[in-house]
Amino acid sequence: MYVAVKGGEKAIDNAHRLLAEERRGDPESPEVSLKQIDQQLSHSVDRVMTEGALYDRELAALAIKQARGDLVEAIFLLRAYRTTLSRFGASEPIDTAKLLIRRRISATYKDLPGGQVLGPTFDYTHRLLDFSLVDGTEPEAAAESDGDPDTPMPRVVDLLNQEGLIESEDADDDTPVGDVTREAMTLPADRDVRLQMLARGDEGFVLSLGYSTQRGYGRNHPFAGEIRLGEVEVDFTPPELGFPVTLGEITVTECQMVNQFAGSATEPPQFTRGYGISFGHCERKTMAMANVDRALRARDLGEDVSAPAQDEEFVLYHVDNVEASGFVQHLKLPHYVDFQSELDTVRRLRADAQARQAGVAAE
Amino acid sequence: MNAQSPDHNTAGLDHQRTFRLVLEGMSRPGRLVTLDAGERPVAALNAASAAVARTLLDDTTPLWIDPALADDSVIDFLRFHCGCPVTADPGAAAFALAGDGLPALERFSIGDDEFPEASTTIILQVERLAPGADVVLAGPGIDGTSGIADPGLAADFWPQWAALTPLYPCGIDIILTAGDTLCCLPRTVRRVLGRPGEAQ
Amino acid sequence: MTEPAQQPLTGYNFAYLDEQTKRMIRRSILKAVAIPGHQIPFGSREMPLPYGWGTGGIQVTASIIGKDDTLKVIDQGADDTTNAVSIRKFFAATAGVATTERTTEATIVQTRHRIPETPLTENQIIVYQVPIPEPLRWLEPREVETRKMHALAEYGPMHVQLYEQIAKYGRIAASYDYPVVVNGRYLMRPSPIPKFDNPKMDNNPALQLFGAGREKRIYAVPPYTSVKSLDFEDYPFSVESWEHCCALCGSTDSYLDEIITDDRGGKMFVCSDTDYCTQRQENGHFGPLGSEAAE
């Protein structure tokens, strides 16, 4: 006697209990705290906040813990939570020129007002496993800067702009900014929507696309004009007050690429720009994002659109890892009804073919 | 957590009930659907119009209002319950609220061939919505034909409506209201000759 | 079989989505009904279930469902497949609605890959989970292009594709997600139902709603609306058929799952619609293996 598979509900409940057990691991080892994740796995937290599109270090740490360190899963958890939050309004644009700088480097000038500030970076570490971390050692204190913290650090692109050497980008305050989390994206997309998609986009996908432009698939001659990391205040203007109040401070990383020049009959040659930004410290992501942003501007700048990174529809529809992960993994859901339908078709086609062959043989 | 106050949730459930009835109306053109809409909240709006507005309008839906309806109490009601921006241009309206002062249909947006949904939905207050055979309708959602008594639309309404048909999928969708009853005319519906219930 | 309504989960809005989101989705649904078969872009939200696992259907259901509804959720025709169980639990928890496995008791049926064998009625709404809403996608991957093709009703390439299958295989080789034309105007993907179910869509008394969450589209077929599967005069549309009846209920006109019973080529066929099969057995209909169970 055949009995159909039943008890999906029980199986699911049990699977969830097993998952919770495995997440906890050996109960003898101490449970990791959110503070530890926030403080000691801070780049994970930064990435989850950026791609999760929600600035909350504690929630991001919780998501990482719940996801057992699977960052794409943690991003999904944070996004799903974000959806349920009420909206009170939009903050004022942040002014990255006023960033309290912790790191600021430019590859286009040897020195510049405010100077080069190396800050916390892996860049010049030798990638040797540090066995002193096995048991943990207190790090040596870094020297305090003796510079004046009030020294202005103008953005490199603003310096170039003084000479008119780079295209200017003036905020157009009258045009509402798109929001892909509220309205379906329509194509062609404007740059605000593209930048939002890229900022939320998967770091790996953006990295590879950005890399591909450097290898000639949509080359646009990037120079890292400036990368800056620091804290900036977020202001909000409540309609009932009519003036901005400061909500708090966030950490951001910003990258401005200076790209190949363009000119026309009416416009003298100028450098162009690519832009990247993230919550927290996500330097690789912002640089790659700036490359891809510039590549996606090909159409606007009258360049050929031939490489994958320049293909707006391809990039924007595949950059989101919550979408991609869900759809790739949905293949493990049952598809046996469709498969049965295909079996039916293939059997008929084979029967037709065999009949034809038999007919040929009989002739 | 997105905890909702009990008040809010009650309103939410009211909106759900109203929406399901609007959906029934839009899915089954010509069917008279009665809302449990209570008293009319402001004199110029019937109970059904007010309930539909509360259910469908918000700060993302520009509304055009028939000047004949647009007294202060109506504007206050819409501002408080819907928060919708009011536009003077029918062509820019996602929704319109109209009565006897309904302008020519061609002044509203009918969308375009790529985005036919970018059109105006009109909530149109009429004299009466009652069973009958004065207006017989056919189209998707109707098993054969359906009919209603003459709702008291202006004489030039049906010729204007017929003129929109060849422009499909562009078009206008209308929610007729009277008292606490509504009846929908999606753009696919046609007025036909004959009697309700007959096969087309 | 039927679970009564219960108190919904505290801390979240009724049926999870906030009221503003529901309003946006409701407006999209009304437009979808007014333009049968046309895909309406909507501001799809990130749901707590993964994209590709029914988020579009879930958002549509969440926007229409009320306290008095009774929900049935099926995947592959069955109520007890894991994802159907998961989605049913989601609504039982967030909306506290009654749920059922009986097609006849449901006011809303959310489905993946099947239409129930039991005919739907005017009092029911069926919500399809849709992975890829664009019927022209395999012919033209670009949204910008397919939108133009729909605007112009330029569906010739789809006919050409089916004709090429006839040229190559001697018959149309499409088997599921078989393209249909709705109300004589829009080419539409019926979602990955087997073509066996396509005829059920035509002139159905129930409202049919389609939600694609990841692709952010909603579309609809109103009741009593023409839904025609593409075909040619000399190669008419046809559906799957089996030489066997259902091993459990003996049905000869339902869609059957093929089940491998051993590694020596043994197999059996049973109804994909588990409720339909159960009802038939309860009414005394048995197949070759079902009668044993009754003894």
In a domain, A270, yes or no: yes
Confidence of residue B4 (pLDDT cuts 50, 70, 90): very low
- Pick the catalytic residue from C54, C56, C245, C249: C249
Neighbours of chain B (3+ CB pairs under 8 A): A, C
* Three-state secondary-structure class, residue B162: helix
Question: In this structure, what token pair is assigned to residue C245?
Answer: 């009846």
In a domain, A334, yes or no: no
- Report the C-alpha gap between A213 and A225 in whole angstroms: 17
| pLDDT tens, residue by residue, B160-200 | 999 999 999 999 999 999 999 999 999 999 999 877 776 65
Annotated catalytic residue C277: yes
Residues of B in contact with A85 (CB under 8 A): 2
- Report the C-alpha gap between A128 and C38 in whole angstroms: 58
> What single string gives the DSSP state of each residue in B2-25?
----HHHHHHHHHHHHHHHHHHHH
Nearest CB to B23: which of C14, C29, C147?
C29
* Three-state secondary-structure class, residue A261: strand
> Do both A37 and A102 map to the same domain?
no
> Do both A47 and A191 map to the same domain?
no
> Do both A108 and A238 map to the same domain?
yes
Q: Is C26 on the interface with B (CB under 8 A)?
A: yes
Q: In a mutagenesis test of the C interface, which of B9, B16, B120, B172 is the best target, namely the one with the most C β-carbons within 10 Å?
A: B16
Residue of chain B with shortest Cα separation from C124: B24
- Report the C-alpha gap between A262 and B50 in whole angstroms: 57
Domain membership of residue A63 as a residue range: 9-82
Confidence of residue B6 (pLDDT cuts 50, 70, 90): very low
> Do both A266 and A234 map to the same domain?
yes
- Report the C-alpha gap between A128 and B84 in whole angstroms: 61
Q: Do B117 and C35 touch (CB under 8 A)?
A: yes
> Do both A108 and A38 map to the same domain?
no
> Do both A42 and A113 map to the same domain?
no
Element (H, E) at A359: helix A336-362
Nearest CB to C18: which of A80, A86, A323?
A86
> What single string gives the DSSP state of each residue in C82-143?
HHHHHHHHHHHHHT--EEES-GGG-SEEEEES---SSPP-TT-EEEEE-S---TTTTT---H
Cα B103 to chain centroid, rounded = 15
Say what the ipTM of the complex is: 0.95
* Three-state secondary-structure class, residue A95: coil
Other Cβ atoms within 10 Å of B188 Cβ, number: 24
Phi, psi of A215 (to 5 degrees): -95, 5
* Three-state secondary-structure class, residue B55: helix
Burial, C170: exposed, middle or buried (Cβ in 10 Å; 0-12, 13-18, 19+)?
Answer: middle
Burial, A318: exposed, middle or buried (Cβ in 10 Å; 0-12, 13-18, 19+)?
Answer: middle
> Do both A244 and A216 map to the same domain?
yes
In a domain, A209, yes or no: yes
> Do both A239 and A283 map to the same domain?
yes
Phi, psi of B181 (to 5 degrees): -115, 145
Residues whose CB is less than 8 angstroms from the CB of residue A168 and which lie 6 or more positions away in sequence, other chains included: A161
Q: In a mutagenesis test of the C interface, which of B59, B117, B142 is the best target, namely the one with the most C β-carbons within 10 Å?
A: B117
**Cβ contact B182:B129 at 8 Å:** yes
> Do both A236 and A305 map to the same domain?
yes
Q: Do C240 and A329 touch (CB under 8 A)?
A: no
Boundary (domain end) residue, out of A30, A54, A82: A82
In a domain, A225, yes or no: yes
> Do both A206 and A309 map to the same domain?
yes
Start-end of H helices in chain C? 19-34, 55-64, 82-94, 143-151, 156-169, 198-201, 274-282, 290-294
Number of domains in chain A: 2
Nearest CB to C143: which of A82, A183, A313?
A313
> Do both A62 and A109 map to the same domain?
no
Residue of chain C with shortest Cα separation from B61: C24
On the question of a cis peptide bond just before residue A188, with omega within 30 degrees of 0, the verdict is yes
In a domain, A271, yes or no: yes
Annotated catalytic residue C37: yes
Residues of C in contact with B35 (CB under 8 A): none
Which residue matches tokens 């990295």? A207
**Cβ contact C129:C114 at 8 Å:** no
In a domain, A313, yes or no: yes
Boundary (domain end) residue, out of A26, A60, A82: A82
State mean pLDDT over A60-72: 98
What C135-140 contacts at long range (C-beta under 8 Å, 24+ apart), as own/partner pairs, is: C135/C179, C135/C187, C135/C188, C135/C189, C136/C187
Mean pLDDT, chain A, integer: 91
**Cβ contact A242:A87 at 8 Å:** no
**What is the amino acid identity at position A261?**
F
Gyration radius of chain A over CA positions: 26
pLDDT tens per residue, chain C (295 residues)?
788 888 887 778 899 999 999 999 999 999 999 999 999 999 999 999 999 999 999 999 999 999 999 999 999 999 988 899 999 999 999 999 999 999 999 999 999 999 999 999 999 999 999 999 999 999 999 999 999 999 999 999 999 999 999 998 888 988 999 999 999 999 999 999 999 999 999 999 999 999 999 999 999 999 999 999 999 999 999 999 999 999 999 999 999 999 998 899 889 999 999 999 999 999 999 999 876 544 4
Q: Do C66 and B20 touch (CB under 8 A)?
A: yes
> Do both A245 and A112 map to the same domain?
yes
**Cβ contact C101:C274 at 8 Å:** yes
| pLDDT tens, residue by residue, A283-308 | 999 999 999 999 999 998 888 999 99
In a domain, A69, yes or no: yes
In a domain, A217, yes or no: yes
pLDDT given for residue B1 in this prediction: 33
Conformation bin of residue A30: beta by default, left when phi > 0, alpha when psi is -120 to 50: beta
- Pick the catalytic residue from C245, C271, C287, C290: C271
| pLDDT tens, residue by residue, B65-91 | 999 999 999 999 998 899 999 999 999
